């Protein structure tokens, strides 16, 4: 772990108000997880974004730690969120892809979410924004550990004005707990509404421990921004949206400070997957990583992750060790002193890394699963072995413009290859012939995964996969 360099020479070179309780702030650690939708690695000021600024997110890096090698559990919405909230590979808990309004499945009642885990220690819990783990009543957040839910059940593009499947989706519902309060709400107010709800929640729960999950629907298409940020960037609508998200982070940090919670509140900021790059100027940047959302290449799964906890996380540090969204549940569990879920999880606590211990390496490997249950790649440290598979590619196609997507090939032949991610994070130079011993090691790791989780590419069934919930 290294000290954070100045932005100009350092990280940019890398890739409604409620009255608060009068009581004293709780001494237990509070948790805030901010989960963006489709933000790319290169979409922040600290990772090279141009045409707009993200000073509040930059501040999180200067006052906390920037994890440069964070990978999302999977490169698509529902699966990634299942991995985050359960601490499991999505395929272990029966998830893949992105659920829509027709789906009869959702998170199983026997799976323990972060919210349910923390409630064992008396935490108040809330989610504001996007859920996407089942839209039927038994799958809503309020049935899975969250005291409060204000937001949408699936992606914001699942509405009648979808550019490809117009009028396929019903009106987009906005929920207050389990009640639909609006249909096709004004999406330009999403970032503001969910931020205001979050601020109110913090103020109302300053004297008791809380877990806040702020799952912004942006910058997923269709892009919307409030009037206060419209036209403010030099990067068009996408830049405006990112500036408003940065404002949202600023509101959270301001509220934490005003309520005297700086030293006992851990704030985590990351994204569910990489950018949907065939949307062109309405998509983010991979920062030079290969491909994007919906692929197991780094552009699809490697995204920024920032953590701030004043007085505990050393300020202005950069960590290059591997971690994933699945590691958040066991980390919060360790901090809160709760027992881990009874069923097996895949996450590993990274608390020592957060505290600046450079001698530990909690997570050495990661399995890149996609589609229903295809093991497309495996990594160990900086080595990544890609297996031959058919997958999405955006290469060779002109991206779309102003909200209309360009084409992509969903069945491109992706060749087997070995990449040294330290020297080649863009995954352009296959070095398989030079390092047969590394290939053998990664093949052995893949074999372990196939025994446990299966693999559609090889026909392996796996012994430890659990089913998602299914409505009768």
Every domain of the chain and the residues it spans: 28-363, 367-470
- Is 80 in contact with 89 (CB distance < 8 Å)? no
pLDDT at 119: 98
Closest CA to 46 of 32, 25, 28, 67: 67
Helix (H, G, I), strand (E, B) or coil at 149: strand
Catalytic residues: 77, 132
pTM value is 0.95
pLDDT tens per residue across all 472 residues of the chain: 554 444 333 443 333 334 344 467 778 999 999 999 999 999 999 999 999 999 999 999 999 999 999 999 999 999 999 999 999 999 999 999 999 999 999 999 999 999 999 999 999 999 999 999 999 999 999 999 999 999 999 999 999 999 999 899 999 999 999 999 999 999 999 999 999 999 999 999 999 999 999 999 999 999 999 999 999 999 999 999 999 999 999 999 999 999 999 999 999 999 999 999 999 999 999 999 999 999 999 999 999 999 999 999 999 999 999 999 999 999 999 999 999 999 999 999 999 999 999 899 999 999 999 999 999 999 999 999 999 999 999 999 999 999 999 999 999 999 999 999 999 999 999 999 999 999 999 999 999 999 999 999 999 999 999 999 999 8
Q: Measure the CA–CA gap between 347 and 71, rounded to whole angstroms.
A: 12
For residue 450, give both structure tokens: 């196939």
pLDDT at 358: 85
Check residue 266 and give left, alpha or beta (phi > 0: left; psi -120 to 50: alpha): beta
Helix (H, G, I), strand (E, B) or coil at 290: coil
Tokens 């990112």 -> residue: 242
For residue 332, give both structure tokens: 């919060």
Alpha-carbon dihedral of residues 189, 195, 196, 199, nearest 10 degrees?
A: 180
Element (H, E) at 265: strand 265-271
Q: Just give the CATH number of 367-470.
A: 3.30.1120.10
Residues 6+ apart with CB under 8 A from 83: 72, 73, 74, 89, 90, 95, 324, 325, 326
pLDDT at 361: 94
Element (H, E) at 254: helix 236-258
Q: Measure the CA–CA gap between 376 and 370, rounded to whole angstroms.
A: 7
pLDDT at 2: 54
- Is 366 in contact with 71 (CB distance < 8 Å)? yes
Q: Measure the CA–CA gap between 150 and 196, rounded to whole angstroms.
A: 11
pLDDT at 14: 38
Q: Just give the CATH number of 28-363.
A: 3.40.720.10
pLDDT at 1: 55
Helix (H, G, I), strand (E, B) or coil at 405: coil
What DSSP state is assigned to residue 325? G
Helix (H, G, I), strand (E, B) or coil at 67: strand
């Amino acid at each position: 772990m290294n000290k954070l360099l100045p932005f100009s020479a350092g990280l940019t070179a890398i890739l409604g108000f409620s009255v608060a309780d009068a009581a004293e702030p709780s001494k237990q650690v509070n948790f805030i997880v901010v989960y963006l939708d489709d933000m790319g690695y290169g979409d922040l000021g600290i990772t090279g974004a141009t045409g707009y600024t993200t000073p509040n997110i930059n501040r999180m890096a200067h006052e906390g730690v920037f994890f440069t090698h964070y990978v999302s559990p999977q490169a698509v919405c529902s699966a990634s969120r299942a991995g985050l909230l359960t601490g499991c590979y999505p395929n272990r808990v029966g998830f893949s892809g992105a659920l829509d309004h027709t789906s009869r499945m959702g998170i199983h009642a026997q799976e323990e979410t972060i919210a349910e885990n923390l409630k064992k220690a008396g935490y108040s819990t809330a989610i504001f924004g996007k859920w996407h783990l089942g839209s039927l009543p038994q799958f809503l957040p309020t049935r899975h550990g969250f005291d409060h839910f204000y937001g949408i059940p699936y992606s914001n593009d699942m509405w009648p004005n979808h550019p490809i499947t117009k009028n396929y989706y019903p009106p987009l519902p906005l929920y207050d707990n389990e009640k639909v309060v609006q249909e096709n709400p004004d999406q330009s107010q999403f970032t503001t509404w969910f931020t205001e709800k979050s601020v109110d929640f913090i103020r109302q729960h300053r004297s008791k421990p809380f877990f806040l999950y702020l799952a912004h629907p942006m910058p997923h298409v269709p892009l919307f921004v409030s009037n206060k940020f419209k036209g403010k960037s030099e990067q068009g609508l996408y830049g405006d949206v990112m500036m408003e998200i940065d404002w949202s982070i600023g509101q959270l940090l301001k509220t934490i400070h005003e309520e005297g919670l700086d030293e006992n509140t851990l704030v985590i900021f990351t994204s569910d997957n990489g950018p949907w790059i065939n949307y062109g100027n309405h998509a983010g940047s991979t920062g030079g990583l290969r491909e994007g959302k919906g692929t197991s290449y780094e552009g699809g799964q490697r995204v920024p992750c920032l953590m701030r906890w004043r007085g505990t996380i050393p300020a202005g540090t950069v960590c290059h060790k591997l971690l994933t969204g699945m590691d958040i549940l066991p980390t919060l569990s360790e901090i809160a002193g709760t027992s881990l879920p009874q069923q097996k999880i895949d996450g590993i606590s990274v608390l020592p890394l957060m505290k600046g211990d450079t001698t530990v390496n909690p997570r050495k490997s990661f399995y890149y699963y996609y589609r229903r249950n295809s093991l497309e790649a495996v990594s160990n440290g900086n080595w990544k072995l890609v297996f031959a598979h058919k997958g999405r590619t955006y290469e060779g196609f002109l991206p779309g413009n102003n909200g209309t997507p360009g084409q992509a090939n969903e069945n491109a032949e992706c060749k087997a290859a070995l990449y040294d991610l330290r020297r080649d994070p863009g995954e352009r130079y296959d070095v398989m012939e030079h390092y047969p011993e590394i290939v053998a090691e990664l093949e052995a790791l893949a074999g372990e995964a196939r025994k446990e989780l299966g693999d559609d590419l090889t026909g392996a069934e796996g012994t430890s996969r659990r089913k998602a919930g299914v409505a009768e």
